[in-house]
Amino acid sequence: MRFVRTAAALLASALLLDAGTAAAAPATDFYKGRTVYVIIGYSAGGGYDLYARVLAAHMGKHIPGNPTVIPQNMPGAGSVKAAAYVFSVAPKDGTVIGTFARGMAATALIGQAPFDARKFTWLGSATRDVTLCISWGESPAKTWNDVMTRQVTFGGEGPAGDPDIFAKLYKNVFGAKIKLATGFPGTTDITLAMQRREVDGLCGISWSTVKARYGSWLKEKKLNILIQAAPMKDPDLPNVPMASDLPKTNEQRQILEFAMANEVLARPFVAPPGIPEDRKAILRAAFMETLKDPVFLADANKTMIDINPVSAAEAEAVVTKMYGLPKDVVQKAARAVY
């Protein structure tokens, strides 16, 4: 894909220089003196960026050789750009990992991303999450009923982005009066547009992000939380309606379940396919050890990000199950949501 190759050319060149002797190095020695890059599919300041940066600050000490770990933002197309880079362009030697939209596996499954998501080297997810629709406090859309009965404009990022997926889900399947203004680099940019009253709000933002980035807005009642999508109602949001209460037919319920399948993978992390097995094991172990590290957890608490680790095996199981869904369900969901 041209946009991946051109945007990533400089980073790829730097990484490939380091990859020249990768194949010969024993796993226990390989990372000493090296740099591991964390490719972030969104612009700086959003939830995915925050999780990746806190992880990067601590993961190096859990990798033999203690490499430097550097976060690298690569926004574009709702994080498809970064995912495609990690899958196809990045060195397959264990020096690159990435994070992207939780809905990426579904996006790839229906042909909207150029790879088979099952082939990533899944490391896991930093947490499971609740996905919200929110609006700016001064917007006329103050409740979910307002979204169902009056025209509102919500911001989006691109086909794979949660803001687009959930806005289309609520509009096309349940009849919400949402007009989607897409193309923003990330949720930080959409929330700025909310403040400028260019859009009313957005769907597909995580509760963990709202708490971590916009806690003061909640206290000052500058945000309206309109609806939550999750297997269970979050204890922090007892009065916010559930998306699971919307379906009136079995088809609607199946499409909603497809869209929500990746809520388990709220903050997914992967490495490219085909990296050496010993380095795969090292990265997976380091990822999980970092998420249990008391110093990391203290940092996570300071930045108000939720940590509820999902293992590589669990992540792979979610993706495999999605790829095993009946084709007619996938096709209906694709028509409705993508």
Which tokens belong to 210?
A: 């709202």
Q: 40 pLDDT band (50/70/90 cuts)?
A: very high
Query: CA end-to-end span of the chain, whole Å?
Result: 20
Q: How many residues does the chain have?
A: 338
What's the CA angle centered on 236, arms 234 and 241, to 5 degrees? Answer: 55
Residue 158 in this model has a pLDDT that exceeds 90:
no
Q: What is the pLDDT of residue 8?
A: 55
Distance, CA of 73 to CA of 81 (rounded, Å) = 11
Q: 153 pLDDT band (50/70/90 cuts)?
A: very high
Please choose, from the candidates 206, 158, 119, the residue with its C-alpha nearest in 3D space to the C-alpha of residue 41: 158
pLDDT digits (tens, 9 = 90+) for 233-282: 999 999 999 999 999 999 899 899 888 877 889 999 999 999 999 999 99
Q: What is the pLDDT of residue 258?
A: 86
Q: 24 pLDDT band (50/70/90 cuts)?
A: very low
Distance, CA of 83 to CA of 182 (rounded, Å) = 19
Q: What is the pLDDT of residue 69?
A: 98
Q: 1 pLDDT band (50/70/90 cuts)?
A: very low
Average model confidence (pLDDT) across the chain:
91
CATH of domain 131-262: 3.40.190.10
State mean pLDDT over 298-321: 94
Q: 323 pLDDT band (50/70/90 cuts)?
A: very high
Domains 2-128+265-337 and 131-262 share a fold: yes
Distance, CA of 101 to CA of 120 (rounded, Å) = 14
Q: What is the pLDDT of residue 160?
A: 74
Q: What is the pLDDT of residue 12?
A: 53
Residue 22 in this model has a pLDDT that exceeds 60:
no
- Chain-centroid distance, C-alpha 24: 34
Q: What is the pLDDT of residue 249?
A: 93
Residues with Cβ < 8 Å from 173, sequence gap 6 or more?
252, 255, 256, 336, 337
Topology at the third CATH level for domain 2-128+265-337? D-Maltodextrin-Binding Protein; domain 2 (3.40.190)
Enumerate the domain spans of the chain: 2-128+265-337, 131-262
pLDDT digits (tens, 9 = 90+) for 58-96: 999 999 999 999 999 999 988 999 999 999 999 999 999
Q: 129 pLDDT band (50/70/90 cuts)?
A: confident
Distance, CA of 30 to CA of 63 (rounded, Å) = 10
Q: What is the pLDDT of residue 207?
A: 92
pLDDT digits (tens, 9 = 90+) for 191-219: 999 999 999 999 999 898 898 889 999 99
Q: What is the pTM of this model?
A: 0.78
